[in-house]
Structure 1
Protein backbone atom coordinates (compact mmCIF):
# COMPACT_ATOMS: atom_id res chain seq x y z
CA UNK A 1 0.00 0.00 0.00
CA UNK A 2 1.46 3.36 -1.02
CA UNK A 3 2.17 5.65 1.89
CA UNK A 4 0.29 8.93 1.69
CA UNK A 5 2.48 11.97 2.16
CA UNK A 6 1.23 14.79 4.34
CA UNK A 7 1.13 18.09 2.42
CA UNK A 8 3.49 20.81 3.63
CA UNK A 9 3.66 24.51 2.85
CA UNK A 10 7.08 25.94 2.07
CA UNK A 11 8.82 29.26 2.71
CA UNK A 12 8.53 30.11 -0.99
CA UNK A 13 4.77 29.53 -0.95
CA UNK A 14 4.54 31.89 2.01
CA UNK A 15 6.40 34.53 0.01
CA UNK A 16 4.00 34.02 -2.91
CA UNK A 17 1.00 34.35 -0.59
CA UNK A 18 2.39 37.71 0.51
CA UNK A 19 2.39 39.27 -2.97
CA UNK A 20 -1.00 41.07 -2.60
CA UNK A 21 0.25 42.54 0.67
CA UNK A 22 3.48 43.61 -1.03
CA UNK A 23 1.54 45.76 -3.48
CA UNK A 24 -0.27 47.50 -0.64
CA UNK A 25 2.89 47.94 1.43
CA UNK A 26 4.71 49.60 -1.45
CA UNK A 27 2.11 52.36 -1.62
CA UNK A 28 1.56 52.92 2.07
CA UNK A 29 5.27 52.48 2.83
CA UNK A 30 6.14 55.23 0.36
CA UNK A 31 3.53 57.44 2.03
CA UNK A 32 4.96 56.67 5.48
CA UNK A 33 8.44 57.59 4.30
CA UNK A 34 7.20 60.83 2.75
CA UNK A 35 5.36 61.77 5.95
CA UNK A 36 8.41 60.93 8.06
CA UNK A 37 10.59 63.14 5.91
CA UNK A 38 8.03 65.96 6.07
CA UNK A 39 8.25 66.11 9.89
CA UNK A 40 12.04 66.35 9.83
CA UNK A 41 13.13 62.73 10.22
CA UNK A 42 16.28 61.58 8.47
CA UNK A 43 16.25 58.57 6.15
CA UNK A 44 18.20 56.66 8.83
CA UNK A 45 15.55 57.53 11.45
CA UNK A 46 12.82 56.34 9.08
CA UNK A 47 14.76 53.11 8.56
CA UNK A 48 15.15 52.51 12.30
CA UNK A 49 11.48 53.23 12.93
CA UNK A 50 10.46 50.69 10.28
CA UNK A 51 12.92 48.07 11.59
CA UNK A 52 12.02 48.34 15.27
CA UNK A 53 8.39 49.55 15.26
CA UNK A 54 7.13 48.01 11.99
CA UNK A 55 3.58 49.27 12.29
CA UNK A 56 2.06 51.49 9.63
CA UNK A 57 -0.67 53.07 11.73
CA UNK A 58 1.66 53.61 14.69
CA UNK A 59 4.37 55.14 12.50
CA UNK A 60 1.93 57.63 10.99
CA UNK A 61 0.70 58.56 14.47
CA UNK A 62 4.26 58.91 15.77
CA UNK A 63 5.13 61.25 12.90
CA UNK A 64 2.05 63.34 13.67
CA UNK A 65 2.98 63.55 17.35
CA UNK A 66 6.56 64.46 16.49
CA UNK A 67 5.20 67.29 14.35
CA UNK A 68 3.38 68.77 17.34
CA UNK A 69 6.37 68.09 19.64
CA UNK A 70 4.50 65.72 21.92
CA UNK A 71 6.35 64.28 24.96
CA UNK A 72 8.20 61.02 24.40
CA UNK A 73 6.16 59.25 27.09
CA UNK A 74 2.87 60.10 25.37
CA UNK A 75 4.23 58.93 22.00
CA UNK A 76 5.28 55.58 23.48
CA UNK A 77 1.96 55.08 25.29
CA UNK A 78 -0.08 55.99 22.20
CA UNK A 79 1.91 53.58 20.01
CA UNK A 80 1.35 50.87 22.63
CA UNK A 81 -2.41 51.41 22.62
CA UNK A 82 -2.59 51.47 18.82
CA UNK A 83 -0.79 48.11 18.60
CA UNK A 84 -2.51 46.47 21.56
CA UNK A 85 -4.66 44.44 19.15
CA UNK A 86 -1.59 42.39 18.24
CA UNK A 87 -1.92 40.55 21.56
CA UNK A 88 -5.29 39.23 20.42
CA UNK A 89 -3.97 38.26 16.99
CA UNK A 90 -0.95 36.47 18.42
CA UNK A 91 -3.07 34.52 20.88
CA UNK A 92 -5.49 33.45 18.17
CA UNK A 93 -2.78 32.05 15.88
CA UNK A 94 -0.68 30.41 18.61
CA UNK A 95 -2.67 27.12 18.63
CA UNK A 96 -1.82 26.61 14.94
CA UNK A 97 1.93 26.63 15.63
CA UNK A 98 2.26 24.22 18.53
CA UNK A 99 5.11 22.52 16.68
CA UNK A 100 7.19 25.72 16.76
CA UNK A 101 9.95 26.14 19.31
CA UNK A 102 10.37 29.24 21.48
CA UNK A 103 12.46 31.23 19.01
CA UNK A 104 10.21 30.37 16.09
CA UNK A 105 7.18 31.47 18.09
CA UNK A 106 8.87 34.76 19.00
CA UNK A 107 9.72 35.35 15.34
CA UNK A 108 6.16 34.71 14.20
CA UNK A 109 4.64 36.93 16.89
CA UNK A 110 7.15 39.75 16.36
CA UNK A 111 6.51 40.07 12.61
CA UNK A 112 2.76 39.39 12.67
CA UNK A 113 0.75 42.29 11.23
CA UNK A 114 -2.89 42.92 10.40
CA UNK A 115 -2.20 42.04 6.78
CA UNK A 116 -0.23 38.83 7.40
CA UNK A 117 -2.86 37.82 9.94
CA UNK A 118 -5.55 38.33 7.30
CA UNK A 119 -3.68 36.17 4.78
CA UNK A 120 -3.11 33.48 7.41
CA UNK A 121 -6.77 33.49 8.47
CA UNK A 122 -7.82 33.04 4.84
CA UNK A 123 -5.56 29.99 4.45
CA UNK A 124 -6.80 28.50 7.72
CA UNK A 125 -10.41 28.98 6.57
CA UNK A 126 -9.54 26.86 3.53
CA UNK A 127 -8.32 24.08 5.87
CA UNK A 128 -4.77 24.44 4.58
CA UNK A 129 -1.82 22.92 6.41
CA UNK A 130 0.19 25.85 7.74
CA UNK A 131 3.86 25.38 8.55
CA UNK A 132 6.33 27.60 10.39
CA UNK A 133 8.33 27.94 7.16
CA UNK A 134 5.27 29.22 5.27
CA UNK A 135 4.50 31.75 8.00
CA UNK A 136 8.11 32.92 8.01
CA UNK A 137 7.99 33.41 4.25
CA UNK A 138 4.83 35.48 4.58
CA UNK A 139 6.14 37.59 7.47
CA UNK A 140 9.69 38.14 6.25
CA UNK A 141 8.56 39.18 2.76
CA UNK A 142 6.11 41.71 4.22
CA UNK A 143 8.72 43.00 6.68
CA UNK A 144 11.42 43.55 4.06
CA UNK A 145 8.94 45.17 1.67
CA UNK A 146 7.84 47.63 4.33
CA UNK A 147 11.42 48.60 5.18
CA UNK A 148 12.42 49.11 1.54
CA UNK A 149 9.24 51.07 0.74
CA UNK A 150 9.65 53.47 3.68
CA UNK A 151 13.31 54.06 2.81
CA UNK A 152 12.37 54.92 -0.78
CA UNK A 153 9.62 57.18 0.53
CA UNK A 154 12.13 58.95 2.74
CA UNK A 155 14.57 59.40 -0.13
CA UNK A 156 11.99 60.93 -2.45
CA UNK A 157 10.09 62.72 0.31
CA UNK A 158 11.64 66.10 -0.33
CA UNK A 159 10.36 65.97 -3.90
CA UNK A 160 6.78 65.05 -2.97
CA UNK A 161 4.94 67.86 -1.15
CA UNK A 162 1.97 65.72 -0.13
CA UNK A 163 1.27 61.98 -0.08
CA UNK A 164 -2.47 62.71 -0.37
CA UNK A 165 -1.90 64.42 -3.71
CA UNK A 166 -1.04 61.06 -5.27
CA UNK A 167 -3.63 59.05 -3.35
CA UNK A 168 -0.94 57.17 -1.39
CA UNK A 169 -2.86 57.68 1.84
CA UNK A 170 -5.62 55.39 0.48
CA UNK A 171 -3.27 52.44 -0.15
CA UNK A 172 -3.64 50.99 3.36
CA UNK A 173 -7.44 51.24 3.24
CA UNK A 174 -7.56 49.59 -0.19
CA UNK A 175 -5.32 46.76 1.01
CA UNK A 176 -7.53 46.16 4.06
CA UNK A 177 -10.63 46.03 1.85
CA UNK A 178 -9.01 43.40 -0.37
CA UNK A 179 -7.89 41.26 2.57
CA UNK A 180 -11.31 41.59 4.22
CA UNK A 181 -13.10 40.38 1.09
CA UNK A 182 -10.77 37.39 0.77
CA UNK A 183 -11.13 36.51 4.45
CA UNK A 184 -14.93 36.75 4.59
CA UNK A 185 -15.74 35.18 1.21
CA UNK A 186 -15.26 31.54 2.26
CA UNK A 187 -17.08 31.58 5.65
CA UNK A 188 -19.97 33.69 4.33
CA UNK A 189 -20.61 31.07 1.61
CA UNK A 190 -20.46 28.14 4.01
CA UNK A 191 -22.09 29.69 7.08
CA UNK A 192 -23.86 32.77 5.85
CA UNK A 193 -26.11 33.46 8.82
CA UNK A 194 -23.44 33.10 11.51
CA UNK A 195 -20.92 35.19 9.57
CA UNK A 196 -23.44 38.02 9.08
CA UNK A 197 -24.42 37.93 12.77
CA UNK A 198 -20.77 38.20 13.84
CA UNK A 199 -20.05 41.04 11.40
CA UNK A 200 -23.13 43.00 12.47
CA UNK A 201 -22.31 42.51 16.17
CA UNK A 202 -18.78 43.81 15.63
CA UNK A 203 -19.94 46.84 13.64
CA UNK A 204 -22.68 47.79 16.11
CA UNK A 205 -20.49 47.34 19.20
CA UNK A 206 -17.66 49.31 17.56
CA UNK A 207 -20.04 52.16 16.74
CA UNK A 208 -21.36 52.28 20.31
CA UNK A 209 -17.93 52.02 21.93
CA UNK A 210 -16.49 54.80 19.75
CA UNK A 211 -18.94 57.20 21.37
CA UNK A 212 -17.43 56.75 24.84
CA UNK A 213 -13.96 55.21 24.39
CA UNK A 214 -10.82 55.73 22.34
CA UNK A 215 -10.68 54.13 18.86
CA UNK A 216 -8.01 51.65 19.99
CA UNK A 217 -9.97 50.35 23.00
CA UNK A 218 -13.18 50.34 20.94
CA UNK A 219 -11.57 48.05 18.35
CA UNK A 220 -10.35 45.67 21.07
CA UNK A 221 -13.73 45.48 22.82
CA UNK A 222 -15.60 45.05 19.52
CA UNK A 223 -13.20 42.27 18.50
CA UNK A 224 -13.66 40.43 21.79
CA UNK A 225 -17.44 40.83 21.55
CA UNK A 226 -17.39 39.47 18.00
CA UNK A 227 -15.38 36.45 19.21
CA UNK A 228 -17.92 35.89 21.97
CA UNK A 229 -20.82 36.05 19.51
CA UNK A 230 -18.99 33.64 17.21
CA UNK A 231 -18.54 31.10 20.01
CA UNK A 232 -22.16 31.40 21.16
CA UNK A 233 -23.55 30.96 17.63
CA UNK A 234 -21.25 28.02 16.92
CA UNK A 235 -23.75 25.48 18.32
CA UNK A 236 -24.68 24.29 14.82
CA UNK A 237 -21.27 22.69 14.29
Structure 2
Protein backbone atom coordinates (compact mmCIF):
# COMPACT_ATOMS: atom_id res chain seq x y z
CA UNK A 1 0.00 0.00 0.00
CA UNK A 2 1.31 3.43 -0.93
CA UNK A 3 0.42 6.30 1.36
CA UNK A 4 -1.07 9.34 -0.36
CA UNK A 5 0.98 12.47 0.02
CA UNK A 6 -0.35 14.83 2.69
CA UNK A 7 0.75 18.12 4.15
CA UNK A 8 2.39 16.13 6.96
CA UNK A 9 4.39 13.89 4.63
CA UNK A 10 8.14 13.77 5.17
CA UNK A 11 10.04 16.02 2.79
CA UNK A 12 13.02 14.08 1.44
CA UNK A 13 14.72 17.17 0.05
CA UNK A 14 14.57 18.93 3.41
CA UNK A 15 15.84 15.83 5.21
CA UNK A 16 18.80 15.59 2.83
CA UNK A 17 20.30 18.94 3.87
CA UNK A 18 22.54 17.52 6.66
CA UNK A 19 23.84 14.88 4.25
CA UNK A 20 24.43 17.41 1.50
CA UNK A 21 26.43 19.62 3.86
CA UNK A 22 28.48 16.62 4.94
CA UNK A 23 29.02 15.21 1.45
CA UNK A 24 30.38 18.46 0.01
CA UNK A 25 33.72 18.42 1.90
CA UNK A 26 34.03 14.61 1.91
CA UNK A 27 33.34 14.22 -1.81
CA UNK A 28 35.70 17.11 -2.46
CA UNK A 29 38.41 15.40 -0.40
CA UNK A 30 37.81 12.10 -2.22
CA UNK A 31 38.13 13.80 -5.62
CA UNK A 32 41.42 15.43 -4.63
CA UNK A 33 42.79 12.16 -3.24
CA UNK A 34 41.84 10.35 -6.42
CA UNK A 35 43.62 12.66 -8.82
CA UNK A 36 46.61 13.05 -6.47
CA UNK A 37 46.88 9.24 -6.48
CA UNK A 38 47.27 9.20 -10.25
CA UNK A 39 43.73 8.55 -11.43
CA UNK A 40 42.02 10.57 -14.14
CA UNK A 41 39.05 12.81 -13.44
CA UNK A 42 36.84 10.40 -15.40
CA UNK A 43 37.97 7.41 -13.31
CA UNK A 44 37.43 9.26 -10.04
CA UNK A 45 33.91 10.36 -11.02
CA UNK A 46 33.05 6.92 -12.43
CA UNK A 47 33.63 5.38 -9.00
CA UNK A 48 31.20 7.87 -7.49
CA UNK A 49 28.62 7.19 -10.20
CA UNK A 50 28.72 3.40 -10.13
CA UNK A 51 30.04 2.48 -6.67
CA UNK A 52 28.65 5.32 -4.52
CA UNK A 53 30.17 4.22 -1.24
CA UNK A 54 32.43 6.77 0.39
CA UNK A 55 34.59 4.55 2.58
CA UNK A 56 34.83 1.88 -0.15
CA UNK A 57 35.92 4.50 -2.68
CA UNK A 58 38.64 5.84 -0.41
CA UNK A 59 39.85 2.28 0.15
CA UNK A 60 39.69 1.45 -3.56
CA UNK A 61 41.77 4.49 -4.48
CA UNK A 62 44.36 3.60 -1.84
CA UNK A 63 44.59 -0.08 -2.80
CA UNK A 64 44.61 0.48 -6.56
CA UNK A 65 47.31 3.13 -6.33
CA UNK A 66 49.48 0.69 -4.36
CA UNK A 67 49.07 -2.04 -6.99
CA UNK A 68 46.79 -4.38 -5.03
CA UNK A 69 45.36 -7.28 -7.05
CA UNK A 70 41.67 -7.22 -8.00
CA UNK A 71 40.66 -10.18 -5.81
CA UNK A 72 42.04 -8.55 -2.67
CA UNK A 73 40.34 -5.29 -3.64
CA UNK A 74 36.94 -6.96 -4.11
CA UNK A 75 37.17 -8.94 -0.87
CA UNK A 76 38.26 -5.89 1.14
CA UNK A 77 35.42 -3.73 -0.14
CA UNK A 78 32.94 -6.57 0.38
CA UNK A 79 33.92 -6.87 4.03
CA UNK A 80 33.85 -3.10 4.54
CA UNK A 81 30.33 -2.90 3.09
CA UNK A 82 28.87 -5.86 4.98
CA UNK A 83 27.17 -3.35 7.27
CA UNK A 84 24.76 -2.56 4.43
CA UNK A 85 23.05 -5.89 5.07
CA UNK A 86 22.12 -4.53 8.49
CA UNK A 87 20.84 -1.29 6.96
CA UNK A 88 18.70 -3.14 4.42
CA UNK A 89 17.24 -5.40 7.08
CA UNK A 90 16.35 -2.42 9.25
CA UNK A 91 14.71 -0.49 6.38
CA UNK A 92 12.85 -3.49 4.94
CA UNK A 93 9.94 -3.06 7.37
CA UNK A 94 9.29 0.38 5.91
CA UNK A 95 9.83 -0.65 2.30
CA UNK A 96 6.82 -3.00 2.57
CA UNK A 97 4.57 0.01 2.08
CA UNK A 98 6.25 0.94 -1.18
CA UNK A 99 5.57 -0.55 -4.62
CA UNK A 100 8.08 -3.36 -5.11
CA UNK A 101 9.21 -2.05 -8.51
CA UNK A 102 10.97 0.82 -6.72
CA UNK A 103 12.96 -1.39 -4.31
CA UNK A 104 15.85 -2.42 -6.65
CA UNK A 105 16.44 1.20 -7.65
CA UNK A 106 16.26 2.64 -4.14
CA UNK A 107 18.48 -0.10 -2.71
CA UNK A 108 21.48 1.17 -4.68
CA UNK A 109 21.35 4.54 -2.90
CA UNK A 110 21.47 3.29 0.71
CA UNK A 111 24.56 4.63 2.45
CA UNK A 112 25.55 5.19 6.07
CA UNK A 113 24.23 8.73 5.93
CA UNK A 114 20.99 8.15 3.97
CA UNK A 115 20.18 5.22 6.25
CA UNK A 116 20.79 7.25 9.43
CA UNK A 117 18.58 10.12 8.27
CA UNK A 118 15.80 7.99 6.77
CA UNK A 119 15.47 5.60 9.72
CA UNK A 120 15.24 8.59 12.08
CA UNK A 121 12.54 10.22 9.93
CA UNK A 122 10.54 7.03 9.48
CA UNK A 123 10.45 6.30 13.20
CA UNK A 124 9.10 9.79 13.93
CA UNK A 125 6.67 10.21 11.02
CA UNK A 126 4.42 7.56 9.50
CA UNK A 127 3.44 9.67 6.49
CA UNK A 128 5.83 8.72 3.68
CA UNK A 129 5.94 7.14 0.24
CA UNK A 130 8.53 6.35 -2.42
CA UNK A 131 8.79 10.05 -3.29
CA UNK A 132 10.44 10.70 0.07
CA UNK A 133 13.14 8.10 -0.60
CA UNK A 134 13.78 9.35 -4.15
CA UNK A 135 14.15 12.93 -2.95
CA UNK A 136 16.47 12.03 -0.08
CA UNK A 137 18.57 9.54 -2.04
CA UNK A 138 18.93 11.49 -5.29
CA UNK A 139 19.82 14.75 -3.54
CA UNK A 140 22.53 12.93 -1.60
CA UNK A 141 23.77 11.00 -4.64
CA UNK A 142 23.90 14.07 -6.87
CA UNK A 143 25.80 16.04 -4.24
CA UNK A 144 28.34 13.23 -3.84
CA UNK A 145 28.99 12.94 -7.57
CA UNK A 146 29.24 16.69 -8.14
CA UNK A 147 31.52 17.27 -5.15
CA UNK A 148 33.72 14.36 -6.32
CA UNK A 149 33.99 15.97 -9.75
CA UNK A 150 34.86 19.41 -8.33
CA UNK A 151 37.44 17.85 -6.02
CA UNK A 152 38.97 15.87 -8.89
CA UNK A 153 39.19 19.01 -11.01
CA UNK A 154 40.78 20.91 -8.15
CA UNK A 155 43.15 18.06 -7.33
CA UNK A 156 44.43 17.90 -10.89
CA UNK A 157 45.92 21.37 -10.41
CA UNK A 158 47.41 20.75 -6.95
CA UNK A 159 51.02 19.99 -6.24
CA UNK A 160 51.39 16.42 -4.99
CA UNK A 161 52.77 17.54 -1.64
CA UNK A 162 49.83 19.80 -0.79
CA UNK A 163 47.68 18.65 2.14
CA UNK A 164 44.45 20.63 2.58
CA UNK A 165 43.50 18.91 5.86
CA UNK A 166 40.10 17.38 5.13
CA UNK A 167 40.79 14.16 7.06
CA UNK A 168 38.36 15.24 9.77
CA UNK A 169 35.32 15.46 7.46
CA UNK A 170 34.23 11.80 7.38
CA UNK A 171 34.49 11.10 11.15
CA UNK A 172 32.81 14.43 11.91
CA UNK A 173 29.78 13.57 9.79
CA UNK A 174 29.45 10.10 11.31
CA UNK A 175 29.50 11.62 14.81
CA UNK A 176 26.84 14.15 13.82
CA UNK A 177 24.60 11.42 12.36
CA UNK A 178 25.00 9.32 15.50
CA UNK A 179 24.00 12.22 17.73
CA UNK A 180 20.85 12.70 15.64
CA UNK A 181 19.65 9.23 16.61
CA UNK A 182 20.56 9.19 20.31
CA UNK A 183 17.67 9.86 22.66
CA UNK A 184 17.35 8.36 26.13
CA UNK A 185 19.83 6.64 28.41
CA UNK A 186 19.45 3.23 26.73
CA UNK A 187 20.60 4.49 23.33
CA UNK A 188 23.44 6.38 24.97
CA UNK A 189 24.54 3.19 26.75
CA UNK A 190 24.33 1.05 23.59
CA UNK A 191 26.22 3.66 21.56
CA UNK A 192 29.07 3.90 24.06
CA UNK A 193 29.20 0.13 24.56
CA UNK A 194 29.24 -0.61 20.81
CA UNK A 195 31.92 2.01 20.20
CA UNK A 196 34.21 0.70 22.92
CA UNK A 197 33.64 -2.89 21.79
CA UNK A 198 34.48 -1.97 18.19
CA UNK A 199 37.71 -0.29 19.29
CA UNK A 200 38.65 -3.34 21.37
CA UNK A 201 37.92 -5.80 18.56
CA UNK A 202 39.89 -3.66 16.11
CA UNK A 203 43.10 -5.12 17.55
CA UNK A 204 41.81 -8.69 17.32
CA UNK A 205 39.75 -9.05 14.15
CA UNK A 206 41.05 -8.38 10.60
CA UNK A 207 39.81 -5.63 8.32
CA UNK A 208 36.60 -3.89 9.38
CA UNK A 209 34.85 -6.97 10.77
CA UNK A 210 34.99 -5.34 14.21
CA UNK A 211 32.35 -2.84 13.06
CA UNK A 212 29.92 -5.59 12.00
CA UNK A 213 30.47 -7.70 15.12
CA UNK A 214 30.08 -4.78 17.53
CA UNK A 215 26.98 -3.55 15.66
CA UNK A 216 25.30 -6.98 15.84
CA UNK A 217 26.17 -7.45 19.53
CA UNK A 218 25.07 -3.90 20.36
CA UNK A 219 21.77 -4.37 18.50
CA UNK A 220 21.22 -7.69 20.29
CA UNK A 221 21.79 -6.15 23.70
CA UNK A 222 19.52 -3.25 22.80
CA UNK A 223 16.77 -5.69 21.81
CA UNK A 224 17.15 -7.63 25.05
CA UNK A 225 16.96 -4.40 27.06
CA UNK A 226 13.74 -3.43 25.23
CA UNK A 227 12.20 -6.84 25.94
CA UNK A 228 13.23 -6.69 29.61
CA UNK A 229 11.83 -3.15 29.95
CA UNK A 230 8.47 -4.10 28.42
CA UNK A 231 8.14 -7.17 30.63
CA UNK A 232 9.20 -5.47 33.85
TM-score computed with the length of structure 2 as normaliser: 0.89
2:213 corresponding residue in structure 1: 221
Extract unaligned runs of 5+ from structure 1: none
2:22 corresponding residue in structure 1: 24
What is the CA–CA distance in structure 1 between the aligned matches of 2:214 and 2:157, rounded to whole Å?
Answer: 41
1:41 corresponding residue in structure 2: 39
Partners of 1:35 and 1:157 within 8 A in 2:
yes
Partners of 1:34 and 1:163 within 8 A in 2:
no
What is the CA–CA distance in structure 1 between the aligned matches of 2:222 and 2:85, rounded to whole Å?
Answer: 19
| Matches for 1:69-108 after TM superposition, within 5 Å | 69-108=67-106
Partners of 2:76 and 2:207 within 8 A in 1:
no
Give the deviation of 1:128 after TM superposition: 4.3
Residue 208 of structure 1 pairs with residue 200 of structure 2: yes
What is the CA–CA distance in structure 2 between the aligned matches of 1:196 and 1:179, rounded to whole Å?
Answer: 14
Give the deviation of 1:93 after TM superposition: 0.6
What is the CA–CA distance in structure 2 between the aligned matches of 1:26 and 1:160, rounded to whole Å?
Answer: 19
What is the CA–CA distance in structure 2 between the aligned matches of 1:200 and 1:140, rounded to whole Å?
Answer: 32
Residue 232 of structure 1 pairs with residue 229 of structure 2: no
Instruction: Find 1:114's aligned residue among 112, 115, 118.
Output: 112
What is the CA–CA distance in structure 1 between the aligned matches of 2:161 and 2:190, rounded to whole Å?
Answer: 35
Give the deviation of 1:86 after TM superposition: 0.6
What is the CA–CA distance in structure 2 between the aligned matches of 1:91 and 1:173, rounded to whole Å?
Answer: 24
Q: CA RMSD in A?
A: 2.0
Q: For 2:163, what is the secondary structure of its paired residue? A: helix
Give the deviation of 1:108 after TM superposition: 2.1
Q: Provide, for residues 80-102 of structure 1, a one-character-per-residue CA deviation record: whole Å limited to 9, x for no partner.
A: 11111111101111101202233
2:9 corresponding residue in structure 1: 9
Partners of 2:60 and 2:73 within 8 A in 1:
yes
Partners of 2:79 and 2:207 within 8 A in 1:
no
1:151 corresponding residue in structure 2: 149
1:133 corresponding residue in structure 2: 131
Partners of 1:37 and 1:157 within 8 A in 2:
yes
Q: For 2:147, what is the secondary structure of its paired residue? A: helix
Partners of 1:7 and 1:129 within 8 A in 2:
no
Partners of 1:205 and 1:225 within 8 A in 2:
no
Partners of 2:29 and 2:151 within 8 A in 1:
yes
Residue 175 of structure 1 pairs with residue 173 of structure 2: yes
Residue 196 of structure 1 pairs with residue 194 of structure 2: no
**Total equivalences in the alignment:** 225
2:51 corresponding residue in structure 1: 53
TM-score computed with the length of structure 1 as normaliser: 0.87
